[in-house]
Amino acid sequence: MKFFLDTANLDEIKEGISWGCVDGLTTNPTLISKEMKGDGDFKSLVGEILRIVPGPVSLEVTSTEHEGMIQEAKKLKKLGENVVIKIPTTIEGLKALKELKKMNIDTNATLVFSVNQALMVAKAGATYVSPFVGRLDDISEDGMSLIEDIKTVYDNYSIETKIIVASIRHPVHVRDAALIGADIATMPFDVMKKLINHPKTDEGLKRFLEDWEKIDKKKLRF
Ligand code: G3P
């Protein structure tokens, strides 16, 4: 299973990469907007992200008509080899997915909330599909059962579109996505950090180090 970070924050990205657990990255207009408050501009922020991330980086278009999406996609693709174009799941989005597939440009169909949407974007040629689990949980639906259903349907028909579990809010989402066999989990930095922390690990390490201190140091030379 691959882990992507869902952020545009350079400090978080650099720290996550140093752990050896980041296979790629996703952004959206909200995440980019959060990082554009200072002096930086879009091109230098994204250029740096594309340079340091060791894998695909999803950048989202903001046009709502397919012609505009394709124009944006062409410009974004020039920023780096590893750019994946994030396209909203609408009828205009389907047209853009189909065109971009013909142009050999990788795409990520975003804002997916149903199995039928996942089927449609796969048929249109999406490289990745991003079902949003947290936002379904927010409205008292079961986000993770959507992942299970998409996985079953994609397996039924040997569909190659890769499932990116998105809108992850906590470590249980990541564990469940892995048990279902989703291809990728994209998560905020704080969720990735929580995956490694365990109070019993901290407690155990503290005890080992305390016991080690009890040994006469002369006996430890080697
Ligand atoms: O990048 C899309 C997605 O991960 C958004 O998450 O928490 O805003 O629903 P969230």
CB-based contact 167:135 (threshold 8 Å): yes
Give the predicted TM-score (pTM) of the model: 0.95
Q: Which residue's CA is the closest to the ligand 1 atom numbered 6?
A: 167
Q: Kindly indicate the confidence band of residue 100, based on its pLDDT and cuts at 50, 70 and 90.
A: very high
- Residue 166 Cβ < 6 Å to ligand 1: yes
Give the atom of ligand 1 at the shortest distance from the alpha carbon of 166.
4
Q: What is the pLDDT of residue 129?
A: 98
The neighbour count for residue 212, using CB atoms within 10 Å, is 10
Which residues form the catalytic set?
86
Does residue 35 sit in helix, strand or coil?
helix
- Contact residues for 17 (Cβ-Cβ < 8 A; gap 6+): 52, 53, 54
Distance between CA 162 and CA 215 in Å, rounded? Answer: 53
pLDDT of residue 71 exceeding 80: yes
Find out whether the beta carbon of 28 lies less than 6 Å from any atom of ligand 1.
Answer: yes
The ligand 1 atom nearest the CA atom of 58 = 1
- Residue 68, Cβ neighbours under 10 Å: how many? 14
Pairing of strands 57-60, 24-26: parallel
pLDDT for the residue 40: 79
Per residue in 138-168, pLDDT (tens digit) is 999 999 999 999 999 999 999 999 999 999 9
Q: Is the pLDDT of residue 37 over 90?
A: no
Place of tokens 């853009």: 96
Q: Is the pLDDT of residue 185 over 90?
A: yes
End-to-end Cα spacing for the chain: 41
- In the chain, the amino acid numbered 164 is I
Asked whether 134 lines ligand 1 (CB < 6 A), one says yes
Q: Decide if pLDDT at 48 tops 90.
A: yes
Q: Would you place residue 39 in the very low, low, confident or very high pLDDT band (cuts 50, 70, 90)?
A: confident
Looking at 3.40.50.2300, 3.20.20.70, 3.30.870.10, 3.40.50.150, the CATH number of the domain 2-197 comes to: 3.20.20.70
Q: Sorting pLDDT into bands at 50, 70 and 90, what band is 212?
A: very high
Kindly give the distance from the C-alpha atom of residue 169 to the centroid of ligand 1, in angstroms, as a whole number.
Answer: 8
Atom of ligand 1 nearest to the CA of 31: 1
Nearest CA to ligand 1 atom 4: 167
Share of the chain above pLDDT 70, in %: 100
Q: What is the mean pLDDT of residues 25-49?
A: 93
CB 32 within 8 A of CB 44: no
Is residue 38 over pLDDT 90? no
